[in-house]
Every structure is written in structure tokens, then in C-alpha cells.
Chains A and B, each alone.
Chain A
Amino acid sequence: MKKKSLNGLHRLIAGLILPALLLGLWHFASSRSATVVPSLGEVWAVLAHPLRQPPNLDSPSLFACTAISLARVAVGYALAVFSAVPLGLAVGRSDAVRRIVMPLVEFGRPICPIAWMPLAIILFGFSSLGSTLWGDQAWRHDFLGQIQFAMVAIIWWGAFFPILLASVQGVEQTRTLYLEAALMLRATRRQLFRHVILPSALPSILTGLRVGLGLAWMVIIAAEIFPGTRSGLGYMITTSHQVAQYEYAFACILIIGVLGFGMNAALRALSLRVGRWQAKER
């Protein structure tokens, strides 16, 4: 029992070594070049007041920006999941679908989502969930008015491909052995999909979901320089650069990292739980 808790403590310490080193480096750098690198204290002042509207930055509070970025990612990511997983499963099952869909997929995959921003702006402009629902009065329902379709489209593009490819792969790597075994156990073709292919593909799909979420989170930060944006972590970073109040940018960066870490950990835990039958399959 005692040994186990020591291990836990060791692991915690090991995980904190690098961050502690970096904090030290940061403190050293900021004390030498106070103009560009904000001090730990300045950044902490920002983090400690997440609900406060920044007095010298044209941006909503840290909390509001975080919530908005998360909401945008949520919408774009959900769209990606519900489009990529079914499509991936269809491609895996049907050669005809594969031949129609995959050439386009392979063409689109290498195109970085940010490259589409000009096109997204032309297609969607400033339109948002709010503006679709309430038109000119969207400003009264501010949260949904800030979930712009252009950004959602960019995020969707980023998350779509890894999820799609993982789903396709998940279906493809289903062992014929299991399919035949199921057939011998009286499964119909339809039941094959639901009871063999899907559970077998699930670990791969979950990995794809994890990768997709990571990408979506990365993309939102860059995508928030769209015209007409006035909130979000990426927006706060950009604005903070423009006016050289870098403590906000640093605070945002920390939050982005922490949230990214958390999202990844959550999905990983889910993966492990769902895929706990995989222990020896590797």
C-alpha cells in the first residue's frame, strides 16, 4: 500500500519537473526583457480574475472568451463527428462509396483548415447561429450570435478528416475471422455491422475522435482572427498582440494548454474504458 502511494507521488513530481523548469526560465526571461515578456505576476493577475473585463484590452473577460471558444469547438466538432463517423463506416463497408468519396477525401486532407479561411468568409460572412435564429436582433442573444458559421466550418474541416480516416480504418481492420465466426453464429449481414464491425472499429474510432478534438482545439485559436469576431481565446491573443499587452496572450496560452490537456485526458480515459478488452490484442 505504501509503495503504491509513493509511485503516485513520484509520477506527479516527474510530471512537474519540466513545467517548473519552464516557469523558472520564464521568470528569468521576463526579468531581463520587461517590455515583451510579461512577468509571472502580471500573467497571474489576469488568470486570477477570469470574470473581469480587461481594463485595457478590447475584449470580453477571460471566462467569456474561454466559454465562446469551447462552444465554437463543440459545435464544429459535433458536426465533424456526426458526419465523419457515419461516412467512414459507409466507406469501410461499401466499395462503391469508397470509390466515390475517397479521392475527394485524399485531396482535401492535406489542405490545412486555415487555408480555407478566405473562402469561408466569402461563403458565410458574419453569419452565425444567432443571426440565423434572430436576424438583426441577434445581438440580444449574444452567445449564439458569436458562434459564427465560418469558424464552425473551419473547425469541422480540421476535425473531419482524422475522424473519417480512423472510422474507415476501424471498419477495414475488422478481422475476417470475426465476421465468419459471427456468420456461423447465425448473424445476418445487418447484424454483422452492428455486432461485429462496429464494436471492433470502436477503439480506432475513439482514437480518431481524440486526434480530431486536438486538431479542432488548435484550429479554433487560429480561426478566431476572422473579421467580425470579438471574443474567444484566439481573438484575445491576437488583440493582445496588437496592443502589446502580452500578459493576456500568455494567460490565454496557458488556458489553451490546460484545456487541451484536459480534453485529451478525458477522451483517453473514455478510450481506455471502452477498449479495455484490448489489453492483450496489441
Chain B
Amino acid sequence: MGAAITIDNLGKRYSADDGHSVQAVANLSFRCNPGDFLCILGPTGCGKTTLLRLLAGLAKPTEGRVLIDRQPLEGIHPKAGYVFQQSALFPWLRALGNVAFALRMQGMSREARNEQARGWLDRVGLAEFERAYPHELSGGMAQRVALACALIVKPSLLLLDEPFGALDERTRQTLQDVLLDLWRETRATIVFVTHNVEEAVYLGQRILVMAPPPQKSSEAILIDQPHPRDRLSEEFVASLLQVRKAFEKTLCREP
């Protein structure tokens, strides 16, 4: 069900107003199999959000290309879902309305889409909050709703941009497990961006450590442990160390 991703020499250059330009992403290539959980790890400013937007079709590459299911990506992929860093829930709609939004765009009738939306709210554990406005929800609850919003259309590719970054440790861990459950259920390909090493190791099957250009990003690190992973186990700690080393390397080489 998930999408296969191929990135070929991808590059993105932004030109600023005063003339000079910034190379956000350079010479990036990797592959992703259907149903993979890929984490992209990197410090702030290394271009991971840009990469995600390129994968979503929200931005166009200046060099190279993106292939989804071996088709070059033109604009927003119809089977992609996106969870933004800041809460992108529409503040004028209640939780139910937010979740049902994508179905409404597709023209589904009110009863049908509300019924499905309720189902998804229940899956993310927020059944009683369907009439709440986003400003009445806590950060964690809002991100859960966001997950429901993205997943209601059964995307084959789910892109998440540091969705749990603003949450406290406890909530973050809960939501990580929620995400893993949903991933198992839907078998979508997930690309998860984070700057938190532990989170990347807990979630990802493969971890791509990114560095700001002109540095080269590392190869994808494989984490071959089954989910759910035990944060205190030896293998976990070993993987953590491995990834952290790669992470530190990119940090040290900062100009």
C-alpha cells in the first residue's frame, strides 16, 4: 500500500530578496521501499524540512528529481499526507470538521464523512473532543487530530515534520506509539523528520542523517529491531550510540 520513493541528485536553491542564494539541499539521493519507516535526522537548518516539502510537492527541486512509485512528482502527490510542525488545524473548524476536511474536499456527503471522521478521532483516542475547537486542545491532542486529518484519506505516503517537537516527553512517547500503531494498520510509507536522536532510533527502520550543504549526508543507517522497541535494551542503546556518532560528525563539520 505504501509508496516507493526514489530521490535522484536532488537539489534545492532558494534565492533571497537581496540577490544572494541559499542552497538548502544538494546532491541528495536515496531510495525508500513501500511501507518503510524512514527517519530523517539532522540539526536545524540542514534542509530536512525542505526535503520533506520536496517530497510532498509543496516545493519544486532546482536540481535532480523526485520519483514516487517510479513516476516523477508533478505538484502535490494525490496520495500523500502531511503533518506540519506547527499545528495546521483550521481554527475555525471543530476537531470533527478538521478531520473530515479532506473528505469534504472530495465531495463526500456530510453524514458519510462525519461518520468516518468520528472513527478516526476514536482511533487517535479523542472521541469525546469532536466538538472542540483547536484552540481548546492541548498540543498533544492537536497533533493527534492532525494525524487523523492526514490519515483519513488513506495516504500511501505520510510525511511528518517534527510533529512532536513541542511536546513534553511523556506525551511525545505516547504519540510515538500511536503513530506506530497507525503505521502498522495502514502500511503507508512514512518519512519522519526530527532533530531528536532518540526519537529517530525509536521510530525509524532506516535513519538518514542529514547535514547542511555542502556537506554530504550520511548513508541510511539501518535499525533492524522490531517495533515496539525497548528504550532500555542493549540493542537500542547500541543503535542510539551509532546514530549519535553519525549525528555528531555532521555537527562537528559545521563551518
CB closest chain-A residue, reference B82: A184
Q: How many residues of A contact B (CB 8 A)?
A: 23
A178 to B105, CA, bound (A): 14
Interface residues on B, range: 20 to 34
Whether A178 lies near B76 (C-beta < 8 A) is no
> In the complex, what residues of A have CB within 8 A of residue B106's CB?
186
Chain A interface, DSSP helix/strand/loop, else mixed: helix
* Cross-interface CB contact of A191 among B105, B133, B153, cutoff 8 Å: B105
A182 to B135, CA, bound (A): 18
A153 to B105, CA, bound (A): 41
Whether B105 lies near A177 (C-beta < 8 A) is no
Whether B135 lies near A185 (C-beta < 8 A) is no
Whether B105 lies near A195 (C-beta < 8 A) is yes
Closest Cβ of chain B: how far from A33's Cβ, in Å?
Answer: 56
A246 to B82, CA, bound (A): 68
A178-B90, A277-B91, A277-B92 known; A185 vs B84 contact (CB < 8 Å): no
B202 in contact (CB, < 8 A): no
Whether B92 lies near A182 (C-beta < 8 A) is no
* Cross-interface CB contact of B88 among A177, A191, A277, cutoff 8 Å: A177
A270 to B85, CA, bound (A): 33
Whether A184 lies near B135 (C-beta < 8 A) is no
A186 to B107, CA, bound (A): 11
A277-B134, A279-B135, A280-B135 known; A185 vs B105 contact (CB < 8 Å): yes
Closest Cβ of chain B: how far from A185's Cβ, in Å?
Answer: 4
Closest Cβ of chain A: how far from B166's Cβ, in Å?
Answer: 14
17 A-B residue pairs with CB within 8 Å:
A177-B88, A180-B88, A181-B82, A181-B84, A182-B90, A184-B58, A184-B76, A184-B150, A185-B105, A186-B153, A199-B93, A200-B90, A200-B92, A202-B92, A277-B91, A279-B133, A280-B135
Knowing that A180-B58, A181-B82, A278-B91 are A-B contacts, what are 20 other residue pairs whose CB atoms are under 8 Å apart, sorted by A's residue number? A178-B90, A180-B84, A181-B88, A182-B101, A183-B58, A184-B56, A184-B80, A184-B150, A185-B149, A185-B150, A185-B153, A186-B105, A186-B153, A195-B104, A199-B92, A199-B93, A200-B92, A277-B91, A279-B136, A281-B135
